[in-house]
Amino acid sequence: KAGVTQTPRYLIKTRGQQVTLSCSPISGHRSVSWYQQTPGQGLQFLFEYFSETQRNKGNFPGRFSGRQFSNSRSEMNVSTLELGDSALYLCASSLETSGGFGYNEQFFGPGTRLTVL
Amino acid sequence: DAKTTQPNSMESNEEEPVHLPCNHSTISGTDYIHWYRQLPSQGPEYVIHGLTSNVNNRMASLAIAEDRKSSTLILHRATLRDAAVYYCILLNSGYALNFGKGTSLLVTP
């Protein structure tokens, strides 16, 4: 069974640009979560999607957005990039059901390393 | 938000048991306690999770306090491959799920 895949693996952008990151979950997983990891703040939750709907959201500005497609693949977008957005962006998928979030383990992808210059 | 508190770092000798503590005094009744670990240059990897009862799997054991305000991840025999950052988190719908900085485990031969 293929794991969670994320593309691209590395990305370099300049301030003010926007970026779109992609995540393909494990087949059959309908829940996809996104996280930002930086040395200063650790691993922080961005949002979670289930069946194309954003179900949970972390404390990030509106510049960070996401969506999920009918095949459960997900994308996240960051607009008007700032230097502080440089981070490892991780995607995780889970066999969650419509009834809740947290019962099942999350499977993480390798991440996309975003550098903002 | 329900938060967790872990020591910044711990050290263990190879082939000895390791007990990694986590405090979560504001846990709610429906929060699941999850443990993940992250090896260098990799995404986090699931280790174990539980709700109220102690749990065992092939990787580790999870001991949950009776009041659920703390838990302990137990690695029965640490190996060099267990050197990683270990995160204790609480998962439930509606929460902002920050992993924090976890506990960096150093295993020495």
> Mind telling me how many Å the CA of A18 is from chain B's nearest CA?
24
Provide the pairing of β-strand A112-116 with A10-13: parallel
d(C-alpha A92, C-alpha A31), whole Å: 8
pLDDT band at B15 (very low <50, low <70, confident <90, very high): very high
Say yes or no: B3 contacts chain A, CB-CB below 8 A. Answer: no
Provide the pairing of β-strand A42-50 with A31-38: antiparallel
d(C-alpha A33, C-alpha A58), whole Å: 10
Q: Which residue has the tokens 């969506």?
A: A67
Contacts of B98 in chain A (CB under 8 A): 42-45, 58
Closest in A92, A100, A105 to B49, CB measured: A105
Say yes or no: A107 contacts chain B, CB-CB below 8 A. Answer: yes
Substitution target in B9, B59, B87, B98 with the highest count of A β-carbons within 10 Å is B98
**φ, ψ dihedrals at B107, nearest 5°:** -115, 125
Interchain proximity A108–B43, CB inside 8 Å: yes
Contacts of A35 in chain B (CB under 8 A): 99
The predicted model gives B53-63 an average pLDDT of 94
Q: From the centroid of its chain, how far is CA B8?
A: 12
Share of chain B above pLDDT 90, in %: 69
Interchain proximity A110–B98, CB inside 8 Å: no
d(C-alpha A104, C-alpha A111), whole Å: 20
Contacts of A110 in chain B (CB under 8 A): 42-43
- Residue pair B91/B97 in contact (Cβ under 8 Å)? The answer is yes
**Is the backbone of residue A16 left (phi > 0), alpha (psi -120 to 50) or beta?**
left
Q: Give the torsion through C-alpha atoms of B42, A73, A89, B85, to 10 deg.
A: -40
Give A25's DSSP letter.
P
pLDDT of residue B47: 95
pLDDT digits (tens, 9 = 90+) for A48-98: 898 899 988 888 999 999 999 999 999 999 999 999 999 999 999 988 765
pLDDT over 90 at A101, yes or no: no
Interchain proximity B91–A45, CB inside 8 Å: no
All residues at 6 or more sequence positions from A39 whose CB lies less than 8 Å from its CB, including other chains: none
d(C-alpha A62, C-alpha A38), whole Å: 19
**Is the backbone of residue A72 left (phi > 0), alpha (psi -120 to 50) or beta?**
left
d(C-alpha A22, C-alpha B66), whole Å: 42
pLDDT band at B55 (very low <50, low <70, confident <90, very high): very high
Say yes or no: B53 contacts chain A, CB-CB below 8 A. Answer: no
Residue A8 tokens read as 């691209």
